[in-house]
Amino acid sequence: MFQYCLFDLDGTLTDPREGITKSVQYALHHFGIEEPDLKKLEPFIGPPLKDSFMEFYGFTEEQAEEAMKFYRERFAPIGIYENEVFEGIPEMLRHLHQNGQKLAVASSKPIGFVRQILQHFEIDGYFDVIVGSELDGTRSTKEEVVEEALSQLGILELSGEERKNNCAMVGDRKFDIQGAKAYGLTGVGVSFGFAGEGELEEAGADIIVDTVTELEKLLLR
Protein backbone atom coordinates (compact mmCIF):
# COMPACT_ATOMS: atom_id res chain seq x y z
CA MET A 1 0.00 0.00 0.00
CA PHE A 2 1.19 3.50 -0.80
CA GLN A 3 0.86 5.74 2.25
CA TYR A 4 1.10 8.86 0.06
CA CYS A 5 -0.62 9.26 -3.31
CA LEU A 6 -0.10 12.27 -5.56
CA PHE A 7 -2.52 12.76 -8.45
CA ASP A 8 -2.37 14.80 -11.61
CA LEU A 9 -5.73 16.49 -12.33
CA ASP A 10 -6.42 16.79 -16.08
CA GLY A 11 -6.70 13.39 -17.72
CA THR A 12 -6.26 11.56 -14.42
CA LEU A 13 -9.06 12.65 -12.11
CA THR A 14 -11.15 14.57 -14.64
CA ASP A 15 -11.74 14.70 -18.39
CA PRO A 16 -11.25 18.40 -19.31
CA ARG A 17 -11.13 17.77 -23.06
CA GLU A 18 -13.93 20.12 -24.15
CA GLY A 19 -13.04 23.06 -21.94
CA ILE A 20 -9.33 23.06 -22.67
CA THR A 21 -9.49 22.48 -26.42
CA LYS A 22 -12.23 25.07 -26.99
CA SER A 23 -10.29 27.62 -24.94
CA VAL A 24 -7.12 26.93 -26.94
CA GLN A 25 -9.19 27.28 -30.11
CA TYR A 26 -10.47 30.63 -28.82
CA ALA A 27 -6.92 31.85 -28.11
CA LEU A 28 -5.60 30.79 -31.50
CA HIS A 29 -8.45 32.65 -33.22
CA HIS A 30 -7.06 35.93 -31.87
CA PHE A 31 -3.84 35.22 -33.75
CA GLY A 32 -5.69 34.51 -36.98
CA ILE A 33 -5.26 30.75 -36.61
CA GLU A 34 -8.42 28.73 -37.15
CA GLU A 35 -8.39 25.13 -35.94
CA PRO A 36 -11.83 23.53 -36.32
CA ASP A 37 -10.62 20.05 -35.33
CA LEU A 38 -10.56 20.00 -31.53
CA LYS A 39 -8.91 16.58 -31.58
CA LYS A 40 -5.73 18.22 -32.86
CA LEU A 41 -5.65 20.41 -29.75
CA GLU A 42 -5.72 17.55 -27.23
CA PRO A 43 -1.90 17.60 -26.82
CA PHE A 44 -2.46 20.83 -24.87
CA ILE A 45 -4.01 18.74 -22.09
CA GLY A 46 -1.37 18.07 -19.46
CA PRO A 47 1.80 20.10 -20.11
CA PRO A 48 2.26 23.76 -19.12
CA LEU A 49 0.13 25.91 -21.43
CA LYS A 50 2.87 28.37 -22.34
CA ASP A 51 5.20 25.59 -23.45
CA SER A 52 2.47 24.07 -25.62
CA PHE A 53 1.77 27.29 -27.53
CA MET A 54 5.49 27.64 -28.21
CA GLU A 55 6.01 23.99 -29.18
CA PHE A 56 2.91 23.34 -31.27
CA TYR A 57 2.46 26.73 -32.96
CA GLY A 58 5.94 28.22 -32.88
CA PHE A 59 4.93 31.16 -30.72
CA THR A 60 7.59 33.35 -29.17
CA GLU A 61 7.58 33.56 -25.39
CA GLU A 62 5.80 36.93 -25.59
CA GLN A 63 3.16 35.56 -27.99
CA ALA A 64 2.64 32.51 -25.79
CA GLU A 65 2.03 34.70 -22.75
CA GLU A 66 -0.50 36.73 -24.72
CA ALA A 67 -2.18 33.53 -25.92
CA MET A 68 -2.49 32.38 -22.30
CA LYS A 69 -4.42 35.56 -21.47
CA PHE A 70 -6.90 34.90 -24.28
CA TYR A 71 -7.16 31.25 -23.22
CA ARG A 72 -8.05 32.22 -19.66
CA GLU A 73 -10.52 34.83 -20.92
CA ARG A 74 -12.70 31.93 -22.07
CA PHE A 75 -11.56 29.20 -19.69
CA ALA A 76 -12.20 31.04 -16.41
CA PRO A 77 -15.95 31.66 -16.90
CA ILE A 78 -16.84 28.81 -19.29
CA GLY A 79 -14.18 26.20 -20.02
CA ILE A 80 -13.51 25.29 -16.42
CA TYR A 81 -17.00 23.74 -16.21
CA GLU A 82 -16.77 21.92 -19.57
CA ASN A 83 -15.29 19.07 -17.62
CA GLU A 84 -16.34 15.85 -15.91
CA VAL A 85 -14.92 13.47 -13.32
CA PHE A 86 -13.92 10.07 -14.64
CA GLU A 87 -16.35 7.38 -13.52
CA GLY A 88 -15.27 5.75 -10.27
CA ILE A 89 -12.85 8.49 -9.18
CA PRO A 90 -14.93 9.90 -6.27
CA GLU A 91 -15.47 6.40 -4.87
CA MET A 92 -11.78 5.56 -5.19
CA LEU A 93 -10.75 8.75 -3.42
CA ARG A 94 -13.22 8.08 -0.63
CA HIS A 95 -11.87 4.56 -0.13
CA LEU A 96 -8.26 5.75 -0.06
CA HIS A 97 -9.14 8.54 2.37
CA GLN A 98 -11.05 6.15 4.65
CA ASN A 99 -8.05 3.84 4.57
CA GLY A 100 -5.91 6.57 6.11
CA GLN A 101 -3.76 7.28 3.07
CA LYS A 102 -2.53 10.84 2.51
CA LEU A 103 -3.70 12.27 -0.81
CA ALA A 104 -2.44 15.23 -2.81
CA VAL A 105 -3.18 16.89 -6.13
CA ALA A 106 -0.05 17.91 -8.04
CA SER A 107 -1.16 19.78 -11.17
CA SER A 108 0.50 22.20 -13.59
CA LYS A 109 -2.83 24.03 -13.86
CA PRO A 110 -3.05 27.33 -11.91
CA ILE A 111 -3.90 26.62 -8.29
CA GLY A 112 -7.05 28.76 -8.32
CA PHE A 113 -8.53 26.72 -11.17
CA VAL A 114 -7.47 23.46 -9.50
CA ARG A 115 -9.28 24.31 -6.28
CA GLN A 116 -12.35 25.53 -8.17
CA ILE A 117 -12.61 22.29 -10.16
CA LEU A 118 -12.15 20.06 -7.11
CA GLN A 119 -14.77 22.03 -5.19
CA HIS A 120 -17.17 21.97 -8.14
CA PHE A 121 -17.06 18.17 -8.21
CA GLU A 122 -17.11 17.97 -4.40
CA ILE A 123 -13.91 15.93 -4.15
CA ASP A 124 -11.64 18.59 -2.60
CA GLY A 125 -12.26 17.25 0.91
CA TYR A 126 -10.39 14.03 0.18
CA PHE A 127 -7.06 15.81 -0.31
CA ASP A 128 -4.60 16.72 2.41
CA VAL A 129 -2.57 18.87 0.02
CA ILE A 130 -3.51 20.67 -3.21
CA VAL A 131 -0.71 22.14 -5.33
CA GLY A 132 -0.81 23.88 -8.70
CA SER A 133 1.12 26.49 -10.62
CA GLU A 134 0.84 30.24 -10.15
CA LEU A 135 -0.65 32.65 -12.67
CA ASP A 136 2.62 34.60 -12.77
CA GLY A 137 4.34 31.55 -14.25
CA THR A 138 6.14 30.33 -11.14
CA ARG A 139 6.07 26.64 -10.18
CA SER A 140 4.91 25.67 -13.67
CA THR A 141 6.89 22.47 -14.25
CA LYS A 142 5.70 19.12 -12.94
CA GLU A 143 8.96 18.67 -11.05
CA GLU A 144 8.40 21.93 -9.15
CA VAL A 145 4.80 20.98 -8.42
CA VAL A 146 5.79 17.54 -7.12
CA GLU A 147 8.51 19.06 -4.95
CA GLU A 148 6.03 21.46 -3.35
CA ALA A 149 3.49 18.68 -2.77
CA LEU A 150 6.10 16.49 -1.07
CA SER A 151 7.21 19.45 1.04
CA GLN A 152 3.65 20.18 2.18
CA LEU A 153 3.13 16.50 2.95
CA GLY A 154 6.27 16.64 5.08
CA ILE A 155 8.05 13.82 3.25
CA LEU A 156 10.55 15.65 1.07
CA GLU A 157 13.37 14.56 3.36
CA LEU A 158 12.57 10.84 3.18
CA SER A 159 15.27 8.69 1.63
CA GLY A 160 14.86 7.70 -2.02
CA GLU A 161 14.00 4.13 -1.08
CA GLU A 162 11.35 5.24 1.41
CA ARG A 163 9.75 7.54 -1.16
CA LYS A 164 9.77 4.81 -3.81
CA ASN A 165 8.06 2.32 -1.50
CA ASN A 166 5.60 4.66 0.15
CA CYS A 167 4.70 7.34 -2.39
CA ALA A 168 3.08 7.08 -5.83
CA MET A 169 2.65 9.81 -8.44
CA VAL A 170 -0.35 9.04 -10.65
CA GLY A 171 -0.76 10.72 -14.02
CA ASP A 172 -1.65 10.31 -17.67
CA ARG A 173 1.26 12.10 -19.39
CA LYS A 174 5.03 11.77 -19.59
CA PHE A 175 5.39 14.93 -17.50
CA ASP A 176 3.80 13.17 -14.53
CA ILE A 177 6.21 10.25 -14.82
CA GLN A 178 9.14 12.63 -15.18
CA GLY A 179 8.02 14.40 -12.01
CA ALA A 180 7.84 11.07 -10.21
CA LYS A 181 11.30 10.01 -11.37
CA ALA A 182 12.83 13.35 -10.37
CA TYR A 183 11.98 12.63 -6.73
CA GLY A 184 12.23 8.86 -6.69
CA LEU A 185 8.49 8.18 -6.46
CA THR A 186 6.73 5.20 -8.00
CA GLY A 187 5.39 6.53 -11.31
CA VAL A 188 1.92 5.19 -12.07
CA GLY A 189 0.59 5.90 -15.55
CA VAL A 190 -3.10 5.77 -16.43
CA SER A 191 -3.89 4.88 -20.03
CA PHE A 192 -7.42 6.30 -19.92
CA GLY A 193 -6.07 9.87 -20.13
CA PHE A 194 -4.38 11.72 -22.99
CA ALA A 195 -0.97 10.11 -23.44
CA GLY A 196 0.10 9.31 -26.96
CA GLU A 197 0.79 5.73 -27.96
CA GLY A 198 3.83 4.46 -26.08
CA GLU A 199 4.30 7.76 -24.24
CA LEU A 200 4.03 6.38 -20.71
CA GLU A 201 6.25 3.41 -21.49
CA GLU A 202 8.92 5.62 -23.06
CA ALA A 203 8.81 7.95 -20.05
CA GLY A 204 9.62 5.00 -17.80
CA ALA A 205 6.38 4.51 -15.88
CA ASP A 206 6.85 1.86 -13.19
CA ILE A 207 3.25 0.67 -13.56
CA ILE A 208 0.52 1.39 -16.12
CA VAL A 209 -3.16 0.77 -15.42
CA ASP A 210 -6.04 0.89 -17.87
CA THR A 211 -9.03 1.58 -15.61
CA VAL A 212 -9.96 3.39 -12.42
CA THR A 213 -10.80 0.02 -10.88
CA GLU A 214 -7.26 -1.23 -11.55
CA LEU A 215 -5.85 2.00 -10.14
CA GLU A 216 -7.80 1.66 -6.91
CA LYS A 217 -6.71 -1.96 -6.43
CA LEU A 218 -3.07 -0.95 -6.98
CA LEU A 219 -3.13 1.96 -4.54
CA LEU A 220 -4.95 0.00 -1.84
CA ARG A 221 -2.97 -3.24 -2.08
What does the pLDDT look like over 96-130, one tens digit per residue? 999 999 999 999 999 999 999 999 999 999 999 99
Mean pLDDT of 67-95: 97
Q: Catalogue the active-site residues.
A: 8
Output the pLDDT for position 46: 85
Output the pLDDT for position 160: 83
Over residues 169-205, the pLDDT tens digits come to: 999 999 999 999 999 999 999 999 999 999 999 999 9
Output the pLDDT for position 1: 81
Output the pLDDT for position 58: 97
Superfamily grouping for domain 4-15+83-220: HAD superfamily/HAD-like (3.40.50.1000)
Is the Cβ–Cβ distance between 15 and 75 less than 8 Å?
no
Mean pLDDT of 73-79: 97
Superfamily grouping for domain 17-81: Putative phosphatase; domain 2 (1.10.150.240)
Is the Cβ–Cβ distance between 90 and 121 less than 8 Å?
yes
- Of the CA atoms within 13 Å of residue 199, those in its CB half-sphere come to 19
pLDDT band at 221 (very low <50, low <70, confident <90, very high): confident
Output the pLDDT for position 159: 87
What single DSSP character describes residue 86? P
CA distance 171 to 195: 9
Q: What are the residue ranges spanned by the domains of the chain? A: 4-15+83-220, 17-81
pLDDT at 36 over 90: yes
The angle at the Cα of 80, spanning 74 to 82, to the nearest 5 degrees, equals: 100
pLDDT at 220 over 80: yes
Mean pLDDT of the chain: 96
The angle at the Cα of 179, spanning 171 to 106, to the nearest 5 degrees, equals: 60
CA distances from 30 to 24, 40, 50 (A): 10, 18, 16
CA distance 203 to 183: 14
Is the Cβ–Cβ distance between 50 and 65 less than 8 Å?
yes
pLDDT at 137 over 80: no
